[in-house]
Amino acid sequence: MWRPIRRHLLQGVLLGPTVSHLALLFSFTIMTALRRIQKELKDIRDRPIDGLTVEPDDDNLFEWKCTIKGASDSPYKSGTFHFTLSLPENFPFKAPSVTFKTKIYHPGINEEGHICVPVLRDQNNALTMEYAIVLVIIQEKLNNPSPDDPFAPEIAAQLKEDKPNFLATAKEWTKKLVLIAVIRRLLC
């Protein structure tokens, strides 16, 4: 992580004041982002969220590997859902993106794994949002599917028009997910 910054600083010294100033600004921006990331991770570790885990990627602090366990009163009971929280290069001035890696039958999560979380769309919140709160919002959205603000309109329509069938399908997908996880553990 530090080698590229040091390289940019050295190039700035050798290539003149303009490049040097840009390298210094880049270094300051990265340092600000890293301090904020460390603070956010410390806050999350100091106040763990039940049913949710967060680990930064070993090679990239801007990528967080997260899991949510389905709540016992949701159609996702017993399921474990993996997603990444990707912090942009200009963090904390721009909001992160969230991508679910685990397939899920949910009106607010599309086939590509993108989730509709209004707080992440409002870039004005990026500087002040606490990521522990963002993670709780994602967890709440997963465990309490709503047809409002959908990312999968056909699933949202089913939830609105035929809730029992939606619940049965979501539970079936989750059971298959759990079965696949058990088989993988047995094979490894």
Rounded to whole angstroms, how far apart are CA atoms 158 and 154? 6
Q: Which of 68, 116, 134, 135 is catalytic?
A: 116
**In the chain, what is the straight-line distance between the N-terminal and C-terminal CA atoms, in Å?**
33
Tokens encoding 177: 């997910």
* Helix (H), strand (E) at residue 41: helix 17-46
Q: Is 188 a catalytic residue?
A: no
Identify the sign of the CA torsion 6, 7, 9, 14. Answer: positive
Q: What are phi and psi of 154, to 5 degrees?
A: -70, -35
Q: What positions carry a catalytic annotation? A: 116
